[in-house]
Structure 1
Amino acid sequence: MCGGRGTRLDSDAEKPLFEVAGRPMVDRVRDALADSRVDTAYAVVSPHAPDTREHVTGDLPVVETPGEGYVADLGAALDAVGTPVLTVAADLPLVDGDAVDAVLDAADGSTSVRVPVALKDTLGASTDSDGPWVPTGVNVVADDEDSVVRSWDARLAVNVNRRSDAALAERLLAGTAGENCGGAVEGADGP
């Protein structure tokens, strides 16, 4: 999913093309999917991210969405590719193939992957939720009942929504944040 504007980043670059440690986030996510057991990756773009569409064209099959918000765009993507499907937001620059495979191993049908707010707080990552667990931007969408996977994996906890998140991601990528980017992924459970 790479159709966002990234207005909170206060950047001229579209959110998926915002660079973390010298590389666009969408490239980092694309590489993570290539290093995982995912068979085919698609770039889901919107009219809000024309530069991103141009950037990924030729590297990935592109799915065009109306740009009416995450849920509407996800619906358009699902109409194009079907289910089951793994969705990954382009703002997860720490995700890698091992983290993706751990999610796939733990998923049980339609699965929302969540991390504790306490982990985000400990890392210094921004969060827009008061609840104890927040969505990561990684999900499995299938045609069965919903489940939740709880993860303590920092690679899934740092969504770059603000400049401070980008700085944190860069420190973690460089190994200077004093935190391990790995973590446990707990099996799926009910909603």
Structure 2
Amino acid sequence: MNLMVLILAAGKGTRMKSDMPKVLFKAAGRPMVDYVVDAASELGAGRINVVIGNGAELVQKHLAGKAEFSVQTQQRGTGDAVMAAADSINGFDGKVLILCGDMPLVKSETLKSFIEEAEKHPVAFMSVKVKNPFGYGRVIRGVDGSVIKIVEEKDATEDEKREDEINTGIYLCDSKELMTRLAEVDCNNAQGEYYLTDIVKKGAYAHLCKDETEFLGVNNRVQLAEASRVLWDRVAEKHMMNGVSILDPKNFYCDCTVEIDNDVTIYPNVFLEGDTTIGKGSIVYSGSRIKDSIIAENCEIKENCLITESHVGAESHIGPMAHLRPGSVLDGENKVGNFVELKKAKMGIGSKSSHLTYLGDAEIGKDVNIGCGTITCNYDGYSKYKTIIEDGVFVGSDVQLVAPVKVGKGALIAAGSTITKDVPADALGITRAKQQNMEGWVSSWKKKKGVE
């Protein structure tokens, strides 16, 4: 079957109360329209056309290379939105599947089922029965069960409003029949708009679906949160069925792009985002956020850690309250402890920094110990500089390494030192003022102050 998918994404989304186009609002970490485009792609559509209007440049930039575009210059209803793509439809011979850019929950399997059953009809749409039909267009059927019309909420009578079967806004039409019927649609209704629903008046097949959840249209931020929750629940279920222990699925926030191996344990209130991978046997404790990062096998991410664009090698222990900024690479068996921050830092196997440390623009070898309060002074106000620490180095507490500087293999840096020059291998680096103990000074000072 020759298939074009037409995605309606021109709406302003007034109830979102934002200048950003509604379809670019994120549900479970991704813009809503991305889910719709992905579903269309999985159908094997020869063409995907997105009708844009409000914030057209932003939507077009976001979807560049994934679709072609038509512009609805004025917001005059869904029928007008489809007419905005008239040039594309008129030059196309096949079926047109019309989707809404603000419906991120529709599954590609559901759409495939609809297409298989509806492709023999010139005009078909998806309907569903819902518990609360308020705000939706009602499907009105005759005594024989055939569709008479779809009536919008503002145009419905009280009897019609009591119907619980609604129009989902998803249609499958022969391209030529679609354009013929649209040419006959007028704007004689309560909103003065051209309703796409009017194309069913000449007869249409209604494919009644079972799960109303899939057809939630997002018109405000309450519904956006509802859609996100459904998406997160789906992702949690998928991972749990694949052998991941999620202790509280209702407090698990994971993008659909994240990969998690089996025998991973996830505690509540964890955010996993973007292109993140969690390796087998790892544990992620509460309050941590991991984005665009790789966590290898058997790692422990303790409470309240932030890890972005980093690589954590196998058998490593991170946190609690550690921050791995972009470019951090741990080779494995590492420890990055309480209030340690890394930025573009590489740590060799077995190296550790247990607490209260900043390591930026640093290359650290194997089996290095970084003492509490160590700082790599990598920025002079104009440029960034690198610190190199070779294998087996021991850095004492409260040390400042003023880059560019190199500490040789097996060296020891004494606590409290400020290192501004390279330290040779096997050397002791120390910069301390001579200690003086002035006996009796405290008592004498107190006497002068009149303090007992």
Please classify the TM superposition score into its range, dividing by the shorter chain length.
0.7 to 0.9
Asked if the contact 1:92–1:155 (Cα under 8 Å) also holds between the matched residues in 2, the reply is: no
What RMSD, in angstroms, separates the aligned Cα atoms of the two structures? 2.3
Moved more, 18-27 or 8-17: 8-17
**Residues 1:158 and 2:158 are matched in the alignment:** no
Match of 1:115 in 2: 128
Match of 2:25 in 1: 18
TM-score, length of structure 2 as denominator length:
0.35
Moved more, 73-82 or 156-165: 73-82
**Residues 1:96 and 2:107 are matched in the alignment:** yes
Letter in 1 for 2:62: H
Q: How does 1:28-177 map to 2 (within 5 A)?
A: 28-47=35-54, 49-67=56-74, 68-82=76-90, 84-107=95-118, 108-118=121-131, 121=132, 127-128=135-136, 129=153, 130=161, 131-142=163-174, 143=177, 145-154=203-212, 156-175=214-233
State the distance in 2 between where 1:155 and 1:104 align.
19
Q: How does 1:175-190 map to 2 (within 5 A)?
A: 175=233
Letter in 1 for 2:109: D
State the distance in 2 between where 1:126 and 1:92 align.
17
1:11/1:92 Cα in 2 relative to 1: closer, same or farther (>3 Å)? Answer: same
Match of 1:189 in 2: none
Letter in 1 for 2:10: G
State the distance in 2 between where 1:134 and 1:24 align.
25
The alignment partner of 1:159 has SS state of coil
Asked if the contact 2:129–2:212 (Cα under 8 Å) also holds between the matched residues in 1, the reply is: no
State the distance in 1 between where 2:87 and 2:21 align.
25
The alignment partner of 2:171 has SS state of strand
Match of 1:183 in 2: none
State the distance in 2 between where 1:61 and 1:155 align.
29
Gaps of 5+ in 1: 178-191
Cα deviation digits, residues 156-186 of structure 1 (max 9, x gap): 3211112121111111112167xxxxxxxxx
Letter in 2 for 1:4: G
1:126/1:31 Cα in 2 relative to 1: closer, same or farther (>3 Å)? Answer: farther
TM-score, length of structure 1 as denominator length:
0.78
Asked if the contact 1:115–1:156 (Cα under 8 Å) also holds between the matched residues in 2, the reply is: no
Cα offset for 1:126? 6.8
Cα offset for 1:47? 5.0
Cα offset for 1:85? 0.2
Gaps of 5+ in 2: 1-7, 137-152, 154-160, 179-202, 234-248, 251-452
Letter in 1 for 2:26: E
Cα offset for 1:43? 1.2
The alignment partner of 2:205 has SS state of strand
State the distance in 2 between where 1:50 and 1:69 align.
20
Letter in 2 for 1:86: L
Aligned residues: 172
The alignment partner of 2:9 has SS state of coil
1:155/1:98 Cα in 2 relative to 1: closer, same or farther (>3 Å)? Answer: farther
Letter in 2 for 1:29: V
Asked if the contact 1:126–1:161 (Cα under 8 Å) also holds between the matched residues in 2, the reply is: no
Cα offset for 1:92? 0.8
Asked if the contact 1:28–1:93 (Cα under 8 Å) also holds between the matched residues in 2, the reply is: yes
| Larger gyration radius, structure 1 or structure 2 | 2
The alignment partner of 1:5 has SS state of coil
The alignment partner of 1:41 has SS state of strand
Letter in 2 for 1:44: V
State the distance in 2 between where 1:136 and 1:78 align.
22
The alignment partner of 1:169 has SS state of helix
